[in-house]
């Protein structure tokens, strides 16, 4: 795995990107935390050979965490990455001191339906036509990158950029990883397994994020009684890129993380 590194603090934060299959777009988030934390930004495994699974991604993430030689990091995941942070926390409950879920993805069909409904309401006719041309089958890496940039506009409130600037996209890996996550949900494994997580968990969610924060929180809460929920006004799915919310986002995230390191030290 390729891992980008920022900052030199003794407090380590591991950023987990979303997509799945879209690596590198968390650089602005990492840079915004690097003055107070040692930040690792691993790029998740790309497709090739056996189909990618959640278990493989968890094992890869565990390699990164284990490389810290006993230093327990905070895991900060965005979207799919927040889901992966929870999966890792369930499999390795003592290895991270805190979890932060930014724009967390969905764990049931009702929440996924709501995401699609909100996006459909927001999309302009050209955006609808663009997505309809692909008929939901985004099979090439460049199509996934283009779709990400289209959805950035749909999923945001007032973004400061028009492109996510991912280093690479992996359409096959996205399909394989997401299909396995849905399989595990349908089998009842998630979110039930998250009851094993003892670490503090913060859910940071934009009020304008199509992913329905209150609905996702309601599905997680029975398994994560320690879950804290903070909603950011005038904010969509990428809080660090929101013109009107990024200062509050960084202040909230930084303060909460510093508190967790102070408590655990």
Looking at residue 69, what is its pLDDT? 87
Question: Alpha-carbon distance 74 to 17, whole Å?
Answer: 14
pLDDT of 101 strictly over 60? yes
**8: burial class by Cβ within 10 Å (0-12, 13-18, 19+)?**
exposed
| pLDDT at residue 136 is higher than 90 | no
CA distances from 13 to 45, 91, 224 (A): 19, 19, 21
Q: What is the pLDDT of residue 63?
A: 97
pTM reported for the whole predicted model: 0.96
Using one digit for the tens of pLDDT, what is the confidence trace for 164-202? Answer: 999 999 999 999 999 999 999 999 999 999 999 999 999
């Amino acid at each position: 795995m390729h891992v980008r590194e920022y900052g030199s603090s003794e407090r380590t934060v591991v950023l987990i990107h979303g997509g799945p299959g879209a690596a590198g777009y968390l650089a602005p988030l990492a840079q915004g935390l690097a003055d107070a934390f040692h930040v690792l930004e691993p790029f998740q495994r790309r497709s090739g050979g056996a189909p990618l699974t959640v278990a493989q991604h968890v094992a890869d993430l565990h390699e990164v965490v284990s490389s810290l030689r006993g230093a327990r990091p905070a895991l900060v995941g965005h979207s799919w990455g927040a889901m992966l942070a929870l999966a890792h926390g369930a499999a390795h409950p003592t290895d991270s001191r805190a979890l932060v879920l930014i724009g967390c993805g969905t764990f049931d069909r009702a929440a996924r339906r709501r995401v699609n409904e909100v996006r459909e309401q927001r999309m302009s006719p050209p955006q609808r036509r663009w997505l309809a041309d692909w008929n939901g089958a985004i099979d090439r890496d460049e199509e996934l990158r283009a779709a990400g940039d289209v959805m950035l506009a749909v999923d945001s409130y007032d973004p400061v950029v028009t492109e996510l600037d991912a280093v690479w996209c992996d359409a096959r890996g996205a399909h394989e990883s997401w299909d396995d996550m849905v399989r595990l949900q349908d089998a009842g494994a998630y979110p039930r397994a998250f009851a094993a997580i003892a670490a503090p968990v913060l859910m940071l969610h934009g009020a304008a994020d199509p992913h329905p924060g209150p609905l996702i929180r309601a599905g997680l809460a029975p398994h994560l009684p320690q879950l804290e929920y903070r909603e950011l006004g005038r904010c969509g799915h990428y809080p660090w890129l929101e013109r009107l919310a990024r200062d509050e986002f960084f202040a909230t995230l930084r303060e909460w993380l510093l508190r967790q390191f102070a408590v655990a030290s």
